[in-house]
């Protein structure tokens, strides 16, 4: 396992996966899961979810749905190690140890924390730390533990997470300097430039803009939401610009180059918006159908998901438990006598 390149990424288990998540992160990760020259580690970051969500039922359900999504879309669990963060107790253990070599000043500079403080200041709040938990403040340390425990060489993440990987590098370097070379210094690989999807309102598809299209919906509401995508008011028959069009941006992210070229020609001819919405719906519906059926079946048999996650945890721990022993010995936490 350890001689291959370790590629690791975490998936925070909140919210419902949307088409933008699929194209930007899930699809490339699933493709990589079939590559036997790398060792992928993908995990459900349920401890991270606690920072944002304190509703136990939602945390549970969301973890289930996100696991089902990745499995339904064809994740190769024979090659990739696919696990739930909370099933690997060494992660939380390492997080504490890393806390003890992490400068508080480094965490003060983390974007998520700074944004929370700024929001308090902007709203005239006297306490800049109002509503900030230690979970939010420490979040980059937990993330460093996720990464360093598996000696990840590469960590594919979106742009918003780059700072956290830089912090993990910093923390790893600090630990190695004090206790000897135990951790690989991880590298960022930007995953989000593969394709940027536009959302319902024409801005980048993102949960924070509330303009997303869920990946798995029943056919009827799916058609409805595709019909809601904003377009300009050009009439059928008038030539249209595909490159500024949300419908086209989504179509292109799924279709082959030949299919995309054919639709591009239809724009020049002046395809009507109603017709193009029909084309897009039919295409996506066909493309996602099998995965959606598998997804529904998995959610009806959650014990199957659980079984796969338990196998993943066993594989993860076969790596993390002996490594944690080494780390404990290196810091002087070892059996007495
Ligand atoms: N914080 C990441 C996000 O919100 C998810 C995550 C948790 C992660 N631990 C990680 C990503 C470790 C990469 C490596 O997207």
**CB-defined site of ligand 1, < 6 Å:** 8-10, 12, 45, 48, 143, 146-147, 155, 157, 161
Pocket test for ligand 1, best of 7, 12, 149, 172 (most atoms within 8 A of CB): 12
> Distance between CA 205 and CA 213 in Å, rounded?
8
**Distance between Cα 236 and ligand 1 center (Å):** 45
Nearest of 269, 275, 209, 284 to residue 238 by alpha carbon: 269
- One domain, residues 245 and 163: no
**Distance between Cα 150 and ligand 1 center (Å):** 14
- One domain, residues 164 and 223: no
- One domain, residues 19 and 167: yes
Counting Cβ atoms within 10 Å, is residue 335 exposed (0-12), middle (13-18) or buried (19+)?
exposed
**Distance between Cα 47 and ligand 1 center (Å):** 11
Write the CB contacts of 105 (distance below 8 Å, at least 6 apart in sequence): none
Residue 322 domain-assigned? yes
**Distance between Cα 24 and ligand 1 center (Å):** 14
CB 140 within 8 A of CB 315: no
Atom of ligand 1 nearest to the CA of 158: 15
Q: What is the pLDDT of residue 192?
A: 60
The CATH number for 243's domain is: 1.10.240.10
- One domain, residues 13 and 84: yes
Pocket test for ligand 1, best of 164, 172, 316 (most atoms within 8 A of CB): 164
Pocket test for ligand 1, best of 7, 146, 186 (most atoms within 8 A of CB): 146
Residue 228 domain-assigned? yes
Q: Whose CA is nearest to atom 11 of ligand 1?
A: 10
**Distance between Cα 292 and ligand 1 center (Å):** 25
Counting Cβ atoms within 10 Å, is residue 265 exposed (0-12), middle (13-18) or buried (19+)?
exposed
> Distance between CA 295 and CA 317 in Å, rounded?
27
Residue 202 domain-assigned? no
Residue 336 domain-assigned? no
Pocket test for ligand 1, best of 9, 17, 191 (most atoms within 8 A of CB): 9
- One domain, residues 25 and 147: yes
Domain count, the chain: 2
Nearest of 55, 54, 72, 58 to residue 15 by alpha carbon: 58
Q: Which residues span the domain enclosing 17?
A: 5-196+302-331
pLDDT means per 10 residues, the chain with 337 residues, are 86 91 92 94 97 93 96 97 98 98 97 96 96 96 98 93 96 98 95 76 90 95 97 95 95 96 97 97 97 97 98 98 97 88
- One domain, residues 184 and 241: no
- One domain, residues 310 and 273: no
The angle at the Cα of 204, spanning 50 to 206, to the nearest 5 degrees, equals 15
Cα–Cα distances (Å) from 308 to 57, 86, 92, 217, in that order, read 21, 15, 22, 24
| Residue 189: its H or E element | strand 187-190
Residue ranges in the chain assigned as alpha helix (H): 19-21, 27-33, 46-52, 56-72, 89-99, 104-108, 111-122, 134-148, 162-179, 219-227, 246-254, 257-269, 273-300, 302-331
**Distance between Cα 291 and ligand 1 center (Å):** 24
- One domain, residues 123 and 263: no
Residue 201 domain-assigned? no
Q: What is the pLDDT of residue 335?
A: 82
The helix/strand/coil state of 70 is helix
Write the CB contacts of 227 (distance below 8 Å, at least 6 apart in sequence): 277, 281
Atom of ligand 1 nearest to the CA of 143: 9
pTM, rounded to two decimals? 0.93
Atom of ligand 1 nearest to the CA of 48: 7
**Token pair belonging to 55:** 């509703």
Residue 209 domain-assigned? no
Counting Cβ atoms within 10 Å, is residue 115 exposed (0-12), middle (13-18) or buried (19+)?
exposed
Residue with tokens 């945390």: 59
**Token pair belonging to 260:** 């995309």
- Residues 52-75, buried b or exposed e (16+ Cβ, 10 A)? ebeeeeebeebbbbbbbbbbbbeb
């Amino acid at each position: 396992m350890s001689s291959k390149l370790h590629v690791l990424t975490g998936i925070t288990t909140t919210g419902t996966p949307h088409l933008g998540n699929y194209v930007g992160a899930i699809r490339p990760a699933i493709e990589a899961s079939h590559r036997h020259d790398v060792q992928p580690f993908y995990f459900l970051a349920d401890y991270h979810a606690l920072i944002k969500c304190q509703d136990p039922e939602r945390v549970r359900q969301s973890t289930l749905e996100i696991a089902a999504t990745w499995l339904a879309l064809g994740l190769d669990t024979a090659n990739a190690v696919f696990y739930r963060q909370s099933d690997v107790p060494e992660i939380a253990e390492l997080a504490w140890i890393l806390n003890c070599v992490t400068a508080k000043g480094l965490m003060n500079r983390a974007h998520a924390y700074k944004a929370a403080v700024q929001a308090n200041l902007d709203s005239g709040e006297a306490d800049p730390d109002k509503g900030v938990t230690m979970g939010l403040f420490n979040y980059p340390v937990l993330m460093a533990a996720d990464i360093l425990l598996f000696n990840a060489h590469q960590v594919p993440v979106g742009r918003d997470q780059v700072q956290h990987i830089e912090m993990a590098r910093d923390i790893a370097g600090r630990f190695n300097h004090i206790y000897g070379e135990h951790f690989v210094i991880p590298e960022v690989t930007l995953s989000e430039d593969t394709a940027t999807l536009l959302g319902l309102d024409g801005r980048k598809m993102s949960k924070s803009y509330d303009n997303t299209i869920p990946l798995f919906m029943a056919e009827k509401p799916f058609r409805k939401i595709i019909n809601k995508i904003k377009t300009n008011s050009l009439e059928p028959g008038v030539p249209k610009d595909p490159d500024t069009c949300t419908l086209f941006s989504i179509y292109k992210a799924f279709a082959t180059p030949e299919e995309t070229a054919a639709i591009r020609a239809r724009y020049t001819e002046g395809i009507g918006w109603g017709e193009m919405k029909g084309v897009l719906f039919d295409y996506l519906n066909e493309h996602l159908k099998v995965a959606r059926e598998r997804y529904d079946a998995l959610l009806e048999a959650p014990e199957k998901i659980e079984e796969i996650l338990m196998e993943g945890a066993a594989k993860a721990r076969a790596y993390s438990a002996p490594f944690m022993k080494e780390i404990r010995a290196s810091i002087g936490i070892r059996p007495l006598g």
